[in-house]
Amino acid sequence: MPTSDRSYRDLREHVEALDREGLLVTVDAPIDKDSEMHPLVRWQFRGGIPEADRKAFLFTNITDGKGRHYDIPVVVGAMAASPAIYAAGMRVAPEEIGAKWNDALTHPIDPRPVNTGACQEVVLTGDDLMGEGKGLDALPIPVSTPGFDSAPTLSATNCVTRDPETGVQNMGTYRAALKAPDRLVVRMATRVGGAGGYQHWQKYKERGEEMPCAIVLGCPPPVAFMGPQKLPIDMDELAIAGGLAGEPINVVKAATVDLLVPAEAEVVLEGMIDPQFTEPEGPFGESHGHVALEEMNMPMRITAITRKKAPIIPSYISQVAPSESSVMKRVAYEPLFLSHLRETLGVASVEKVALHEPLTGLLRVTIVTMARNAPKTEVWRALYGAASFKGDCGKIVFAVNGDIDPDNADAILWALAYRHNPAEDVEVLRHRGQGHGPKREHAGEEDATLLIDATMKSDMPPLALPAEQHMAHAKELWERLGLPALRPESPWYGYSLGDWSEAWQAAADRAAAGEYLENGKRTRQRQQRNLIPETSVRDVEEGWD
């Protein structure tokens, strides 16, 4: 359990909590970190397993491609294999995650410096970092995309750097490929609106100085969640992490670089980045769903490895979404989008914002759910606002109504097919950067944004499925008959979309009760002469409803 000077959990305590809650699979059988570990966990994202049934995996018996054994366990999926796991790390119910983020952003708590930390129970420097089987080579870092990646790569990182001018620290999640026992290569995003660490690197390059860097592995969950989060460049993520934890995060000065690191971290890799040099890094399977090809990135010379006596090393499942990293970003980003549209822009008719996850990885397709009968001007304010909120999000932005499940591509296509007019309900915004993806901005290439209003412009007839009570009853019958387990897909029952009268509902109720003959008597009384078939009753009858 947490020590007396903190109530937030460290990574091991979080893993133990996941185990108690039935959210952890422990694998004691030998697993090759280079070719088996990530593919095994990947199957729960590509094998038709419902999101709610995904687990974290703790590997205790790790080997590598050469048959070497490691005495440090690795946990994969422990931060966000599912929203339930993420919520366990936040220590709230899944539906409370958005409110918890908003409260942390508005009520940050500065970190608390301490003299010693568990992350420095073991300190390795000098000769302990040199040679095969030592330094970085002693850590069981998995290959994330076997068959395409060129190196074991740190994915669950919190990379700490400091602005040499303001002194404000930045903490981001950047991948880092192992190259030697005392060297790795870090990739900090260079795109427009990119990483704070990269902006620090530029400043050190202009000053002709090396940049201190600390790569933290296995932070307490409130800290780990900060890495993928996109905050203003001059905001210290550790203060927001304190807001999430409800108390200051303990930090300790690194052993060989002038940076503060989380005191309860599992492992800290300290070193210097010489901005005068770059080194080939990659290929690596990226979160945009394509393999990032080899590029020149930042070599980091390791000056120390500090760790707990018995650490756990985390690794994120990333690459093709859905993945752990996409879940982590989604549950954090969507509340921020909603708050921006509703609170900052004042578009009160926005009910929800969803970032499409499978394959597109959140950054390309945004779905804004609008209230029924929202004014057209508000629909378009919401579309423009969602498209501009984050520079790398929203290449395609849809507006839909609340009956459309944003996670159901078929439902989105249904809305597009019947609720929008391409001549009136589509706008294209030009001069957009490429953002995160298989194509880069280096050549100055531009992209564009497609905005689509697929909301209902007037009332429509009901969805043509049996009404909810009949489908629910039929589900009970299905289960009593012992038929295969159902996984209801939205929409699974019919509902009114406004164009539906009390008279029609009464007739439907009679038909469902076996009284169709009564309906026939009533319609016979309404027969008329000399009308063309398919004439609407509302065109020829007064008070038809």
Is residue 299 one of the residues assigned to a domain? yes
Specify if 373 maps to a domain: yes
Residue 283: predicted pLDDT: 85
Shared-domain flag, residues 408 and 497: no
Where do the DSSP E strands lie in 193-266?
Answer: 211-217, 250-253, 260-262
Percentage of residues in the chain with pLDDT exceeding 70?
A: 94
Examine the domain organization and report whether 158 and 296 are in the same domain.
Answer: yes
End-to-end CA distance of the chain: 65
Contact by Cβ (8 Å): 139, 73: no
**Which residue segment(s) compose the domain that 149 sits in?**
96-315
pLDDT band, residue 292 (cuts 50/70/90): confident
The interaxial angle of helices 97-106 and 237-245, nearest 10 deg, is: 130
Report DSSP letters for 459-500, one per residue: -BPPPSS-BHHHHHHHHHHHHHTTPPPP---SS-SB--BB--
Domain boundary among 315, 337, 355: 315
Alpha-carbon distance of 467 to 411, in angstroms, equals: 18
CA separation, residue 91 to residues 18, 79, 418 (Å)? 11, 12, 42
User: Is 326 inside any structural domain?
Assistant: no
Nearest-angstrom CA–CA distance, 541 and 523? 12
pLDDT on residue 182 = 97
pLDDT at 151: 92
As a whole number, mean pLDDT of residues 148-157 equals: 92
**Confidence category of residue 137, pLDDT binned at 50, 70, 90:** very high
pLDDT digits (tens, 9 = 90+) for 300-321: 999 999 999 999 999 988 877 6
| Mean pLDDT, rounded, for 122-149 | 94
Residues 276 and 134 in one domain: yes
Reduced to 3 states (helix: H, G, I; strand: E, B; else coil), residue 448 is strand
Q: Kindly indicate the confidence band of residue 163, based on its pLDDT and cuts at 50, 70 and 90.
A: very high
What is the model's pLDDT at position 249? 96
- Assess if residue 209 is contained within a domain: yes
Mean pLDDT of 200-220: 96
Same domain, 501 and 526: yes
In this structure, what CATH number is given to the domain that contains residue 259? 2.30.110.10
Tokens linked to 233: 């460049």
Structural domain count of the chain: 3
CA 260 – CA 273 distance, rounded (Å): 17
In whole angstroms, what separates CA 302 from the centre of its chain? 30
Lowest mean pLDDT among 11-20, 203-212, 286-295: 286-295
* Contact in structure between 299 and 274 (CB atoms under 8 Å): yes
CA-CA-CA-CA torsion for 419, 421, 422, 425, nearest 10 degrees? -80
For residue 397, pLDDT beyond 90: yes
Assign 390 a pLDDT band (cuts: 50, 70, 90): confident
User: Residue 493 and residue 474: Cα distance in Å, rounded?
Assistant: 11
Which tens digits make up the pLDDT trace of 50-92?
888 999 999 999 999 999 999 999 999 999 899 899 999 999 9
CA distance 427 to 387: 11
Q: In this model, does residue 442 exceed pLDDT 60?
A: no
Are 361 and 300 part of one and the same domain?
no
**Does the residue 72 lie in any domain?**
no
Secondary structure of residue 399 in the 3-state scheme: strand
Any domain includes 211: yes
Task: Give the model confidence (pLDDT) of 36-52 as tens digits.
Answer: 999 999 899 888 888 88
344 C-beta neighbours (distance < 10 Å), count: 10
Q: Using one digit for the tens of pLDDT, what is the confidence trace for 509-527?
A: 999 999 999 999 999 999 9
Q: Does 227 have pLDDT greater than 80?
A: no
pLDDT category of residue 176 using cuts at 50, 70 and 90: very high
Return the closest-CA partner of residue 279 out of 195, 190, 209, 187.
187
Domain match, 472 and 444 both: no
Residue 339 pLDDT greater than 90, yes or no:
no
pLDDT at residue 363 tops 90:
no
pLDDT of res. 406: 93
User: Looking at this protein, which amino acid is placed at residue 257?
Assistant: V
Instruction: Give the least confident one: 323-327, 407-411, 419-423, 529-533.
Output: 323-327
Give the span between the Cα atoms of 489 and 335, in whole angstroms. Answer: 24
Average the pLDDT over 151-158 and give the result. Answer: 92
Total Cβ atoms within 10 A of residue 200: 26
7 lies in a domain?
no
pLDDT in tens, 233-282: 667 789 999 999 999 999 999 999 999 999 999 999 999 999 999 999 98
477-512 confidence digits (pLDDT tens): 999 999 898 888 888 999 999 999 999 999 999 999
| pLDDT value, residue 444 | 61
| Residue 232 reports pLDDT greater than 90 | no
Among all chains, which residue has been given the structure tokens 């589509």? 426
Supply 175's token pair.
């991948």
- Domain of 363, CATH number, reads 3.40.1670.10
Q: Is residue 462 in some structural domain?
A: no
What does the block give as tokens for 224? 């780990």
How much is the CA Rg of the chain, to the nearest whole Å? 28
- Kindly state the DSSP code that residue 344 receives in the 8-state scheme: I
Query: Which of 453, 478, 511 is the endpoint of a domain?
Result: 453
302/381 same-domain check? no
Task: Let me know whether 125 and 237 are in one domain.
Answer: yes
Residue 114 and residue 256 in one domain: yes
User: Quick check: 441 pLDDT over 70?
Assistant: no
> Sorting pLDDT into bands at 50, 70 and 90, what band is 329?
confident
Q: Average pLDDT, whole number, for the chain?
A: 90
Same domain membership, residue 249 and residue 113? yes
- Provide the CB-side half-sphere exposure for 20 (13 A, CA): 8
Cis peptide before 488 (omega within 30 of 0): no
Higher pLDDT, 363 or 171: 171
One-letter amino acid of 209: E
Does 271 lie in the same domain as 188?
yes
Comparing 60 with 328, the larger pLDDT belongs to 60
Q: What is the mean pLDDT of residues 428-440?
A: 72
For strand 396-401 and strand 365-370, is the pairing parallel, antiparallel, or unpaired?
Answer: parallel
* Domain end among 453, 476, 493: 453
Q: Cα 292 vs. chain centroid, distance in angstroms?
A: 19
Q: How far apart are CA 74 and CA 37, in angstroms?
A: 9
Same domain, 393 and 286: no
Residue 433 in this model has a pLDDT that exceeds 80: no
Query: Distance between CA 360 and CA 377 in Å, rounded?
Result: 28
> Helix and strand tally (H, E) in the chain?
13, 27
pLDDT at 437: 63
